[in-house]
Chain A
Amino acid sequence: MLEIRIHGRGGQGAVIASKVLAGAFFREGKWVQAFPAFGVERRGAPVTAFVRVDEEPILVRCQIYEPDQLLVLDPTLIEAVDVTQGLKPGGLVLINSERPPEAFSLGDYRIATVDAGAIALKHGLGTREQPIVNTAILGAYARASGLVSLDAVLEEIAESVPLGAEANRAAAREAYERVRLPAPAPAAKNA
Chain B
Amino acid sequence: MSAIVVPKLEEAELLTGAQAVAHAMRQIEPDVVPVYPITPQTPIIEEFSQMVADGLCDSEIINVESEHSAMSAAVGASVAGARVMTATASQGLALMIEILYIAASMRCPIVIPIGNRALSGPINIHCDHSDAYLARDSGAVQIFAENAQEAYDYTLMAVRLAEHRKVLLPVLVNLDGFTLTHSAEVVQLLPDELVKEFVGYYRPLHPLLNVQRPTTQGPFDMPDFYYEHKRQQADATLEALGVFLEVQREYEGATGRGYRGYFEVYGLEDARFALVALGSTAGTAKAVVDELRDRGQKVGLLKPWLFRPFPHEALREALKEVEAVAVLDRALSFGSWGPLYEEVASALYPSDNRPRLHNFTYGLGGRDVTPEQIERALTLIQDPKLPRTMHYLGVRA
Contact = CB atoms under 8 A, between A and B. Distances in A.
Interface of A: 18-19, 22-23, 26, 29, 31-36, 38, 40, 56-63, 65
Contacts of A34: 14, 183-185
Interface stretch (B104-112, B129-137, B216-224, B280-288): B280-288
B186 interface: yes
B336 to A, nearest CB: 28
A68 to B, nearest CB: 17
A4 to B, nearest CB: 13
Contacts of B281: 61
Contacts of B126: 38
Given A33-B184, A38-B182, A62-B370, 10 more contacts: A18-B184, A19-B14, A22-B14, A32-B184, A32-B186, A33-B183, A38-B126, A59-B283, A60-B284, A62-B369
Nearest to A40: B125
Interface residues of B, number: 26
Given A38-B178, A60-B371, A62-B370, A26 B186 contact: yes
B125 A19 contact: no
Given A19-B14, A22-B14, A31-B9, A60 B182 contact: no
Nearest to A62: B370
A62 B374 CA distance: 11
Contact of B178 (A19, A26, A35): A35
Interface of B: 2-3, 6, 9, 14, 125-126, 178-179, 182-186, 280-281, 283-284, 286-287, 290, 366, 368-371
B46 to A, nearest CB: 13
A75 B16 CA distance: 29
A17 to B, nearest CB: 12
Contacts of A58: 185
A60 B186 contact: no
A35 B185 CA distance: 9
Contact of A57 (B6, B182, B371): B6
Nearest 4 CB-CB pairs, A to B?
Answer: A35-B183, A38-B178, A34-B184, A60-B287
Contact of A31 (B186, B286, B366): B186
B287 A59 contact: yes
Contacts of B182: 35-36, 38
B371 A32 contact: no
